[in-house]
Amino acid sequence: MHPAPSVIIFTTLSGLGFGLLFFLGLGLPNVSGWIALVFFVIAFALAIGGLLASTFHLGHPERAWKAFSQWKTSWLSREGWCAVTALLVMALYAFGVVFLDQRWRLIGWCGALASVLTVFTTSMIYTQLKTIPRWNMKLTPALFISFSLAGGALLAGQTAIAQPLLLIAALVQILYWHLGDKAFAKSKTNMGTATGLGADHTIRAFEPPHTGTNYLLREFVHVVGRKHAEKLRVISFVLAFALPIVLLVVPFHHAFALLAVLSHMGGVALSRWLFFAQAEHVVGLYYGKR
């Protein structure tokens, strides 16, 4: 799949933003007034910034409001509802914490739940697609949610919770790469089933339908970026998990905490780039490529 910057920025930033909102909704850290305001501003900036970035790839962003209509079948529509609900509920909760020094527990918990549900619905947009076997796995929602919660704990300054959550997210990431690499073969879709012309190994794409490129090849058949995938996986893993965990273990310093957050964000963004660049769409089979 084409790793469009808009979707990478969207899933990375809003994942972190809703992760932070989750912990703020649970009252972690237990702050109020100006300090709370700073935390909420960061969380809302990440969540809303990510959502806005996702509209950049739309052909008609001015019609985006219509996306709220099809929640019965469409995960993208459900994501819109969850995101707006989470943001509104958390805005109400934030108002109480920042200006009235009131912690409306129930509202906070509802906001936290809606924040996790938003990340879940985002992941389901990708998970539901049978056409992309690497995404069509139960582990995809686990990947998105574990990343979001680990990053949220890190941003919320919850060192004790962040360490195990980073470790869990790291394990999910390794398992996701391991299973993802086998997913296409496991899907049993090949040139044989795509064309119905017999066993896979007896068919060869002789001539493409067009001499130039087209939307399908640009959007679904992204081969170039996979060249350095293995090296990028290592870099992403070190940045997202290894370095932050080390920085959390050493004696606390504000510079270390900031470095841990920045390193984690960079690592997650790189992991998301790989999430798209390494995903292979079955339509590539018709072109004899993947």
Partner 1 sequence: MTQLPESTDRKMGLVIDLDTCVGCHACVISCKGWNTENYGAPLSDQDAYGGNPSGTFLNRVHSYEVQPAQGHAQLIHFPKSCLHCEDAPCVTVCPTGASYKRVEDGIVFVNESDCIGCGLCAWSCPYGAREMDMAEGVMKKCTLCVDRIYNENLPEVDRVPSCVRTCPAGARHFGDLGDPDSDVSKLVAERGGMDLMPEMGTKPVNKYLPPRPKDQIDDQIDILAPLLAPVAEDPKGFLAWLDKTLEKL
Q: Which of 38, 41, 64, 223 binds partner 1 (CB under 8 A)?
A: 64
Whole-angstrom CA distances from 17 to 21, 118, 172, 177, 260 are: 6, 11, 20, 24, 16
Report the residue number, 34 or 65, with the smaller CB distance to partner 1: 65
Residue type for position 96: G
Residues 165-194 that bind partner 1 (CB under 8 A): 187-189, 191, 193-194
Q: What is d(CA 246, CA 160) in angstroms, rounded to the nearest whole number?
A: 13
Token pair for residue 123?
Answer: 């992941």
Q: Which is nearer to partner 1, 26 or 194 (CB)?
A: 194
Q: Which is nearer to partner 1, 186 or 253 (CB)?
A: 186
57 touches partner 1 (CB under 8 A) = yes
Q: What is the 3-state secondary structure (H, E, C) of 43-79?
A: HHHHHHHHHHHHHHHCCCHHHHHHHHCCCCCCHHHHH
User: Per CB under 8 A, which region of 33-41, 174-182, 256-264, 281-289 contacts partner 1?
Assistant: 281-289
**Residue 69 binds partner 1 (CB under 8 A):** yes
Task: Look up residue 134 and give its amino acid.
Answer: R
Render the burial of 55-76: b for 16+ CB within 10 Å, e for the rest. Answer: eeeeeeeeeeeebeeebeeebe
Q: Shortest distance, CB of residue 132 to partner 1, whole angstroms?
A: 7
Q: Are 147 and 265 in contact (CB under 8 A)?
A: no
Query: Least separation, in Å, of the C-beta of 76 and partner 1?
Result: 4
Give me the amino acid identity at 62: E
Under rule CB under 8 A, residue 73 binds partner 1: yes
Residue 203 in the binding site for partner 1 (CB under 8 A): yes
**For partner 1, the closer CB: 224 or 255:** 224
Closest distance between partner 1 and the C-beta of residue 133, in Å?
Answer: 11
- List the interface residues with partner 1, window 208-267 (CB under 8 A): 208-210, 212-216, 219-220
Please give the structure tokens belonging to residue 66.
């219509």
Q: Tell whether residue 130 is a contact of partner 1 (CB under 8 A).
A: yes
Asked if 74 touches partner 1 (CB under 8 A), the answer is yes
Residue 222 Cβ vs partner 1, minimum distance, rounded to whole Å:
13
Q: Report the alpha-carbon distance of residue 128 to residue 135 in Å, rounded.
A: 8
| Contact criterion met (CB below 8 Å) for 84 and 53 | no
Q: By the criterion CB under 8 A, which residues form the site for partner 1?
A: 1, 57-61, 63-64, 66-70, 72-77, 80, 125, 128-132, 187-189, 191, 193-198, 202-210, 212-216, 219-220, 281-283, 286-287
